[in-house]
Amino acid sequence: MSSKVYFTDMRTKPGRNMYDKLNHLIHQAGIEELDMKDKLVALKIHFGEPGNLAYLRPNYAAVIVKKVKALGGKPFLTDCNTLYYGRRSNAVDHLEAAMENGFNRIAVGCDVIIADGLTGSDDEEIPVNLKHTKTAKIGSVIADCDVLISLNHFKGHEQTGFGGALKNIGMGCGSRKGKMEMHSASKPKIKEEKCVSCGMCIRKCPMKAIAYNENLNAQIDYKKCIGCGQCVAYCHYGAASAVYDQSAEILNEKIAEYALAVLKNKQHFHINFMMNISPDCDCWDSNDQAIAPDVGIAASFDPVALDHACVDLVNAAPGVSNSKLDDKGDYEPGGDKFVHVHPDVHWKDCLKHAEEIKLGSQAYKLIKVN
């Protein structure tokens, strides 16, 4: 059975701007059907690594915040910390990065709460018993909220082909341990040549699995290590790092399984913003030329149908010249832009598995809203 996906393009006229169109879109898509009265409503978003300018504008989030408040809900913006070391790898830096990129109370009308705590260790285990995941480790703020609305910047992604609702929900709501589980078949490693022997990882490891070796460099005892990733979070010298050794297919399937865990027993609604369609993730501190022109906004209760509709919409749009499409050889107009720029990963894996585990339907009915 197909799911309904509502879509509005980027055309505006005096008296009807993109705020009006977004409001009309979410109304038509049925956001008012969510019971938000006095509920804690998480707006899951990616705040963008500072330096990246393709991330979703706070102005759009502000529209959704206003709507949630009008429906009696208590909205907040949220994301989990990153696995790698950067400007969003702990709650203090993450909040600062979010404010710097405009996600503050004045601009969006609500607060930001980092979902997995100060260092990414604050999570809840949600049992799902699926092919790769027995229990998903989800940021506790997201696990505890009553309603989840995902606001997704739709663009390319180097590990999943494209990044849309499923990526933002599945990978984005995983705590540090959850992200480790999705990305890696093995535990973190420490590069001796980069270790400055600061001792931070030794003090913070919850399993006391790290000690100095004979060279006075940190070394992990893998018999004790549980793969929580705290050493990665605390190492400011890039010596402790996650091992990204999961095949793209398994990574994509795990993301679908985590997304199911996040949405299990929860009211949810999803909005994809197909604008500034950069070839890679907003986690980079720069954004390359968009590979497609701005296409519009789509919304649905079904994140699988939504992502499928959006990949089709973006692929149907003309490609942008002097972008990564050109770098990667002859791009055929009408071809699959995401496979072209990321030939080693295939976005179909995630959607296929998401449908198999009954997270949603790949079949959709696109309803145009003006």
Which residue ranges make up the site for ligand SF4 (CB under 6 A)?
187-188, 190, 195-201, 205, 207, 209-210, 218, 220, 225-231, 234-235, 237, 239-240
- Cβ atoms within 10 A of the Cβ of 332, count? 9
Task: Cite the beta strand spans of the chain per DSSP E.
Answer: 3-8, 40-44, 74-79, 112-114, 123-127, 135-139, 147-153, 155-157, 161-163, 189-190, 210-212, 218-220, 240-241, 267-274, 296-300, 364-368
Cβ closer to ligand SF4: 77 or 190?
190
Contact in structure between 367 and 309 (CB atoms under 8 Å): no
Contact in structure between 220 and 210 (CB atoms under 8 Å): yes
Instruction: Report, in Å, the least distance between residue 186 CB and ligand SF4.
Output: 11
Instruction: Report, in Å, the least distance between residue 332 CB and ligand SF4.
Output: 44
β-strands 147-153, 267-274 pairing: parallel
Instruction: Report, in Å, the least distance between residue 177 CB and ligand SF4.
Output: 8
Cβ closer to ligand SF4: 92 or 196?
196
Cβ closer to ligand SF4: 229 or 360?
229
Instruction: Report, in Å, the least distance between residue 281 CB and ligand SF4.
Output: 23
Cβ closer to ligand SF4: 3 or 230?
230
Cβ closer to ligand SF4: 225 or 357?
225
d(CA 302, CA 134): 23
Instruction: Report, in Å, the least distance between residue 204 CB and ligand SF4.
Output: 6
